[in-house]
Structure 1
Amino acid sequence: MNDMEKMGIPQKEELSNNSSFIDHKAEVVSNNDLESFSSGKDASVNVDAPVGPKEVVTLPFKQLMLVFVGLCLGVFLSSLDQTIVSVCTKEIANQFNSMKEIPWIGTAYLLTSTAFQPLYGRFSDIFGRKPTFLFAIGIFLVGSALCGAAQSMVMLIVARGIAGVGAGGIFSSVMIILTDIISLRDRGRYQGIIGAVFGVSSVVGPLLGGVFTDHASWRWAFYINLPIGAITLVAVIKLLHLPHVGGSMKEKLLRIDFLGSLTLIVGLVMILLPLNWGGSTYAWNDPLIIGLFCGGFAILGLFCLVEWKQAVEPIIPFHLFKDRTNNAVFVCSLFIGCGMFGMMFFIPIYFQVVKGESATAAGLETIPLIVGLLLSSISSGIMVAKWGQIRPFIWIGLALSTVGCGLLGLLKESSSRGATIGILFVPGLGIGMCMQTIMLAIQSSVGPADIAVATAVATFFRTVGSVLGVAICGTVFNNKLKDSLAGLIAQNPSIVAVISNSDLAGQWGPEIKQQILDSYMDALHLAFLINVPFMAVALLASLFIRHIKLRKAGPAPPPME
């Protein structure tokens, strides 16, 4: 008997077979179904047997709706925070006289939210869905309050890092909780609404940020989170009732993979830093960038060794990667994140720099994309619930996204309003149709004990993809812009300033300004088109997702009416 057995801590084999103490009621799955499902032997099997949760927690319709509104507010909260702050950075820099430190506001948030995101899946198994979600919201609100009250740039950066720790778990926790209260077949329509909320907040964020900065204070960009978060906390605490996870706090703490958590966080931070700095703050061949990459990959290698050989309850279980569908979903999530965020990052730049519109107006110009996302996200969720099919919506969505990224390359300075509306609408349709159905694919592919972890890992891959997409597109954009401006800079070296500040384009006269705008347009074309192969790879990977016909099984919540 080893030391851990003497302490009464379940061993890895026991934990994998004993899911009764995990905060998750599951739909009944026969052993044969699970074996064939995890082995991936039959690629075309029509799985009519229910997979995923053995039994969902049925809530009365009114209570379900109130809980769901609270979960939607949680998603709105975290996604709003990602966009609202970007509009306020100039005012913040002016107040603290710290323009050089401005990038760290976003970097601190990005590092902590991404690094801590995979941990929430396992934590929700150990401590329960509800406590984990409340913890994420609570940490996020503490960080937001500290951001609003910041008296220096250092305090603001630290507070953004704290907020990021909570934000990393909000979206994953919402997706995990939905698996406990909504049957797999009905989950599509609810997750479609979640996707729509995500899209709406992407537009509302810059608009609210502009209003607060112009008419109140940038601090309200952070304080606005407090009342929304309070409503979310009340709704979840009062109305969401899920099975309690057994065991004392000491037993739960002993189940945490501390070494795995530490190596994962440190390794990810060391890789995310050069991805954020490379091509802008430092050259890609700078020794610091190369050193961070090498060190980060080495520590992630140590993390893999810990998860493989030592961890009793791994943060990212390796057996997830033995299933073809799981691997396909992870690859899809990664490249959807690359293409979606790489595209969405540069669309406002097109309207602000090339079209000469304000930040608020640029936010309004993206409404066609969000409308497309809303329509397809909600409608695909309803159709999935009706027909029980997942793959057709993933394929159609990724095909539209690939075509849509290509259409963005047709944008010109002279493009009419009608042309821009039509071009933006297509990728919106595609993203809305595939983003949530991909999540359904992973949730229907794994067993009950792995749903929380698999959901968190899929979300994590999409987040990492977003970082990679923005970094790659940013590098391509900057390099193309420098090449396009090389002739003008050779004639007048002072023109190099427009690379970092496009507002200066007009000071050399209308003819030079037009050439500068043409150079920006050339760079934007390439930044848009680089997302086409990202989406194409996601589409190719989605072909390896097995056919799964979802079927309502066991008690399920009332239909949305």
Structure 2
Amino acid sequence: MEEHGKPIIAANAGSAVPALPSVPPPQKPSSTAETESPPNEALDVSEEPNVRSKLRIYTILIALCLELFIAALDQTIVSTAAPSIVADLHGSLGYTWIGAAYLLANAAAGPIWVKCSDIWGRKPAILCAIAIFAVASIITAASVNMAMLIAGRALQGAAGGGLMQLVNITISDLFSIRSRALYLSAMGLVWVLAGTTGPVFGGALSQYASWRWCFWINLPVCAVTFVVMLFFLDLHNPRTKLGEGLMAIDWLGTISMLAVTLLLLLGLDFGGVIYPWNSPKVICLIVFGTLMIGFFLYSEKRLAKYPLMLLSVFEGWSNNAIVIVAFTHSMASFGVEYYLPLYFQSVKQASPLQSGLLLLPMIITCAIVDILGGVFMHQIGRYRELIWAGTACMTLGAGLYTMFGTDTTLGTIVGFQIVFGFGMSLLFQTPTMALQNSVSQADTATAMATLSFMRSLGTSLSTVLGGVVFQNSMTIRSSFLAASGLGKPQLEALSGYQAAANVHISQTIDDPAQRQAVKEAFAWSIRNMFIMYTCIAAVGVLASVFVKQRHMSKEHTETKTGIENMTEKKRGLESS
């Protein structure tokens, strides 16, 4: 991956030829109303970047891509495999939680991994995350019931949250803000490929092998990346002792954050499906989850010596707008990605493999646009226009999806996916670059943890809320299905949480009118989900107006980790 005139890393000391061209002096940005300078770096706890060879850099980047790929793949690979998993393990009640357990743990664990990497260093944290992800994959693949599978998925999500966070932070430690635009866009391409090929892999493995291979395939990748990271990654190592590190962790913040995500998502998932919305269980979960938000914020602001999250990220209109754009993008894009195969299988009667292949238009569009967006930021040094275009196109694409019905043509499906994919891909890395460009290098990791938590929370809410809308819509449609003459067993199979596990039931119905009624019920319920995702994407459009453009620097220093450096930075902030 050759840098174009914006190098940060030279060849190793033994090489007479530099690996990348020298860094030109940074140009002072023009004084305009819309372009601001980056934040003051006076408090940075950093050092000059190490000298690395091309071989070392490329090897590290390839390993990081593989780590991110398997972590992102496991978010969507189950979207087409879920019906097979549910049927094999006889657990229709757990359909939504096959995906949600991974995403919930992913959201909650991400900031904890980042703080651990600040305390013990990036390399030990990455190695631990890879090892835990491998163990969790074994548990999930060997599951004998739904409870074991969901537990394995939760552990996978916790480790996957670490991999996702630490990949971006490692790149931020290696490259300048201007240069990392290109590399993070490459990681965005990995996200796109993993997210959109996941359903293809899941469908193919479920149809021709076993759904268990969706998780066994992680093991060789984990082995390779573990070895590469062990021998090639050479970021700052503080050698913090275990006891000192454990004392530095923000335990109150960790517990309260876990409580917030667990209580709120359980309440939303149970509401209207397992228990009525006005039941004491649902009300208590949502109320106490909301109250825990206040306790978490108080803990981070007043009690934590080394907070999990950088609350100063939420100061100022621009940073808040960036967080909202990222949050709504994660909700809308992942929700559509996760539930579009449900439309293909239930309404268009596609097989799991076919439903994955039908996502190819979005895959190809995202791959091309993501790279072009990265090159644009790398060469021009601007991201705001990309955020505007991305939010607008994603909202338009989600709105077009609401037109999907039982008679929608293949050409229409392809065209709408191209529009949505164009907007979705522009927002994978632009909010990340915008936020990183708004904080100092020393605060980049914590700021990224905050943004990634909001993204992960968005994806978790997306699947849960999407499942709630779909299940409640199918329940509402029961009277329509009963009027068509369907029997009680069929009505029960198409009601509430059981509907998603019976997407191919219409193929077993001989009466054409009844079969059409089932397809229309699925189409109507999925349309309601797309309406919700369109509204969420529209919020991102409004927020994007307030995003400010700041100068993207070409200079770089590497962040030093460890408790001593965290304390030094904290003292500097308190005295400023």
Please confirm whether the aligned pair reaches a TM-score higher than 0.5, indicating the same fold: yes
Please tell me the residue identity of whatever aligns with 2:213. W
Identity rate of aligned residues, in percent? 32
How much does 1:361 deviate? Answer: 0.2
Please tell me the residue identity of whatever aligns with 1:504. I
Q: Distance in 2 between matches of 1:525 and 1:188?
A: 36
What is the DSSP-based 3-state SS (H/G/I as helix, E as strand, rest coil) of the residue aligned with 2:308? coil
- 1:533 alignment counterpart: 535
Please tell me the residue identity of whatever aligns with 1:523. S
How much does 1:188 deviate? Answer: 1.6
Q: How does 1:465-544 map to 2 (within 5 A)?
A: 465-490=458-483, 492=485, 494=488, 496-497=491-492, 498-499=494-495, 500=499, 501-505=502-506, 507=509, 509-544=511-546
How much does 1:112 deviate? Answer: 2.0
Q: How does 1:333-412 map to 2 (within 5 A)?
A: 333-412=326-405
- 1:44 alignment counterpart: 34
How much does 1:177 deviate? Answer: 0.6
Please tell me whether the aligned partners of residues 268 and 300 of structure 1 are also in contact (alpha carbons under 8 angstroms).
Answer: no
Please tell me whether the aligned partners of residues 57 and 182 of structure 1 are also in contact (alpha carbons under 8 angstroms).
Answer: no
Q: Distance in 2 between matches of 1:300 and 1:243?
A: 34
Equivalent of 1:429, from 409, 418, 422?
A: 422
TM-score normalised over the length of structure 1: 0.85
Equivalent of 1:186, from 156, 179, 199?
A: 179
- 1:23 alignment counterpart: none
Q: Distance in 1 between matches of 2:424 and 2:95?
A: 30
How much does 1:342 deviate? Answer: 2.2
Structure 1, residues 370-415: CA drift from partner, whole Å, max 9, x if none?
Answer: 1111111111001100000011111111111111111212333333
Structure 1, residues 94-115: CA drift from partner, whole Å, max 9, x if none?
Answer: 5555554555544433332222
- 2:553 alignment counterpart: 551
- 1:170 alignment counterpart: 163
How much does 1:70 deviate? Answer: 0.5
Please tell me whether the aligned partners of residues 76 and 338 of structure 2 are also in contact (alpha carbons under 8 angstroms).
Answer: no
Tell which deviates more after alignment, 72-81 or 60-69. 60-69
Please tell me the residue identity of whatever aligns with 2:520. D
- 1:7 alignment counterpart: none
- 2:226 alignment counterpart: 233
Q: Distance in 2 between matches of 1:348 and 1:354?
A: 10
How much does 1:227 deviate? Answer: 0.5
Please tell me the residue identity of whatever aligns with 2:505. L
Tell which deviates more after alignment, 467-476 or 387-396. 467-476
Q: Distance in 1 between matches of 2:104 and 2:252?
A: 19
Please tell me the residue identity of whatever aligns with 1:534. I
Q: Distance in 1 between matches of 2:252 and 2:259?
A: 11
Per the alignment, do residues 551 and 420 of structure 1 end up closer, same or farther by CA in structure 2, a change over 3 Å counting?
Answer: same
Please tell me the residue identity of whatever aligns with 1:228. V
Q: Distance in 2 between matches of 1:272 and 1:427?
A: 27
Structure 1, residues 119-141: CA drift from partner, whole Å, max 9, x if none?
Answer: 22222211112221222111111
Q: Distance in 2 between matches of 1:401 and 1:354?
A: 23
Q: How does 1:206-217 map to 2 (within 5 A)?
A: 206-217=199-210
Please tell me whether the aligned partners of residues 275 and 467 of structure 1 are also in contact (alpha carbons under 8 angstroms).
Answer: no
How much does 1:59 deviate? Answer: 3.0
Q: Distance in 1 between matches of 2:197 and 2:51?
A: 33
Per the alignment, do residues 335 and 502 of structure 1 end up closer, same or farther by CA in structure 2, a change over 3 Å counting?
Answer: same
1:70 aligns to 2:71 (yes or no) = no
Tell which deviates more after alignment, 204-213 or 269-278. 204-213
What is the DSSP-based 3-state SS (H/G/I as helix, E as strand, rest coil) of the residue aligned with 1:118? helix
Per the alignment, do residues 533 and 355 of structure 1 end up closer, same or farther by CA in structure 2, a change over 3 Å counting?
Answer: same
Please tell me the residue identity of whatever aligns with 1:389. R
Please tell me the residue identity of whatever aligns with 1:46. E
Please tell me whether the aligned partners of residues 347 and 406 of structure 2 are also in contact (alpha carbons under 8 angstroms).
Answer: yes
Equivalent of 1:416, from 386, 409, 415?
A: 409
- 2:214 alignment counterpart: 221
Please tell me the residue identity of whatever aligns with 1:496. L
Q: Distance in 1 between matches of 2:158 and 2:557?
A: 35
Count of matched residue positions in the alignment of Structure 1 and Structure 2: 518
Equivalent of 1:276, from 269, 277, 282?
A: 269
How much does 1:180 deviate? Answer: 0.8
Structure 1, residues 4-47: CA drift from partner, whole Å, max 9, x if none?
Answer: xxxxxxxxxxxxxxxxxxxxxxx9xxxxx9xxxxxxxx973432
Tell which deviates more after alignment, 465-474 or 69-78. 465-474
Please tell me whether the aligned partners of residues 203 and 364 of structure 1 are also in contact (alpha carbons under 8 angstroms).
Answer: no
What is the DSSP-based 3-state SS (H/G/I as helix, E as strand, rest coil) of the residue aligned with 2:118? helix
Per the alignment, do residues 444 and 56 of structure 1 end up closer, same or farther by CA in structure 2, a change over 3 Å counting?
Answer: farther
Return 5+ residue gaps in structure 2 as ranges: 1-22, 559-576
Please tell me whether the aligned partners of residues 54 and 448 of structure 1 are also in contact (alpha carbons under 8 angstroms).
Answer: no
TM-score normalised over the length of structure 2: 0.83
Structure 1, residues 331-365: CA drift from partner, whole Å, max 9, x if none?
Answer: 11111122112222331122111111111101100
Q: How does 1:450-461 map to 2 (within 5 A)?
A: 450-461=443-454
- 2:574 alignment counterpart: none
Equivalent of 1:259, from 230, 234, 252?
A: 252
Please tell me the residue identity of whatever aligns with 1:512. Q
- 2:6 alignment counterpart: none
Per the alignment, do residues 459 and 246 of structure 1 end up closer, same or farther by CA in structure 2, a change over 3 Å counting?
Answer: same
Per the alignment, do residues 527 and 148 of structure 1 end up closer, same or farther by CA in structure 2, a change over 3 Å counting?
Answer: closer
Please tell me the residue identity of whatever aligns with 1:441. A
Please tell me the residue identity of whatever aligns with 1:550. M
Structure 1, residues 145-197: CA drift from partner, whole Å, max 9, x if none?
Answer: 22233455444333322222211111111111110112111212211121111
Tell which deviates more after alignment, 413-422 or 167-176. 413-422
How much does 1:549 deviate? Answer: 2.4
Please tell me whether the aligned partners of residues 485 and 516 of structure 1 are also in contact (alpha carbons under 8 angstroms).
Answer: no
Per the alignment, do residues 485 and 55 of structure 1 end up closer, same or farther by CA in structure 2, a change over 3 Å counting?
Answer: farther
Q: Distance in 2 between matches of 1:541 and 1:59?
A: 40
Return 5+ residue gaps in structure 1 as ranges: 1-26, 28-32, 34-41, 557-561
Please tell me the residue identity of whatever aligns with 2:519. L
How much does 1:490 deviate? Answer: 4.6
Please tell me whether the aligned partners of residues 140 and 149 of structure 2 are also in contact (alpha carbons under 8 angstroms).
Answer: yes
Q: Distance in 1 between matches of 2:50 and 2:535?
A: 41
Q: Distance in 2 between matches of 1:151 and 1:504?
A: 25
1:137 aligns to 2:139 (yes or no) = no
Please tell me whether the aligned partners of residues 481 and 519 of structure 1 are also in contact (alpha carbons under 8 angstroms).
Answer: yes
Please tell me the residue identity of whatever aligns with 2:540. A
- 2:20 alignment counterpart: none
Q: Distance in 2 between matches of 1:261 and 1:83?
A: 27
- 1:324 alignment counterpart: 317
1:288 aligns to 2:281 (yes or no) = yes
How much does 1:69 deviate? Answer: 0.8
Per the alignment, do residues 229 and 463 of structure 1 end up closer, same or farther by CA in structure 2, a change over 3 Å counting?
Answer: same
How much does 1:316 deviate? Answer: 1.5
Q: Distance in 1 between matches of 2:400 and 2:49?
A: 42
Q: Distance in 2 between matches of 1:57 and 1:325?
A: 33
How much does 1:525 deviate? Answer: 2.7
Q: Distance in 1 between matches of 2:141 and 2:522?
A: 35
- 2:11 alignment counterpart: none
Please tell me whether the aligned partners of residues 107 and 460 of structure 2 are also in contact (alpha carbons under 8 angstroms).
Answer: no
Q: Distance in 1 between matches of 2:463 and 2:515?
A: 26
Q: Distance in 2 between matches of 1:151 and 1:470?
A: 24
What is the DSSP-based 3-state SS (H/G/I as helix, E as strand, rest coil) of the residue aligned with 2:77? helix
- 2:573 alignment counterpart: none
